[in-house]
Amino acid sequence: MTLPFVTVIMGLKFAVHYFGYEIIELNALFTSFVAANVFLLGFLLAGVLSDFKESEKLPGELSVSLESIADEAHILYQAKNIREAAQCLEHVRMLIGCLREWFHKKERTRTIFEHLSALNQLIAALEPHTQANFIVRLKQEQANIRRIVTRIDTIRDTSFVSSGYRIAEINSILLILGLIVIQLEPFMHALFLTGAVSLLFLYMMFLIKDLDNPFGYYNGSSVENVPIRVIEELEERLKNY
Domain boundaries, the chain: 2-48+162-211, 57-158+227-238
What pLDDT, on the 0 to 100 scale, is given for residue 132? 84
CATH of 57-158+227-238, one of 1.20.120, 1.10.600, 3.40.50, 1.10.10: 1.20.120
The list of the chain residues with pLDDT below 70 reads 220-222
Q: What's the CA gap between 14 and 190, in Å, rounded?
A: 10
Q: What is the pTM of this model?
A: 0.82
Q: Which residues contact 155 (CB under 8 A, 6 or more apart)?
A: 51, 55, 213, 214, 215
pLDDT at 221: 59
**DSSP-derived 3-state class of residue 183:** strand
Per residue in 33-77, pLDDT (tens digit) is: 888 888 989 888 888 888 888 899 999 999 999 999 999 899 888
Closest to 27 (Cα-Cα) out of 201, 188, 178: 178
pLDDT digit string, tens, across residues 183-204: 888 889 889 999 999 999 999 9
Q: Distance between CA atoms of 233 and 59, rounded to whole angstroms?
A: 11
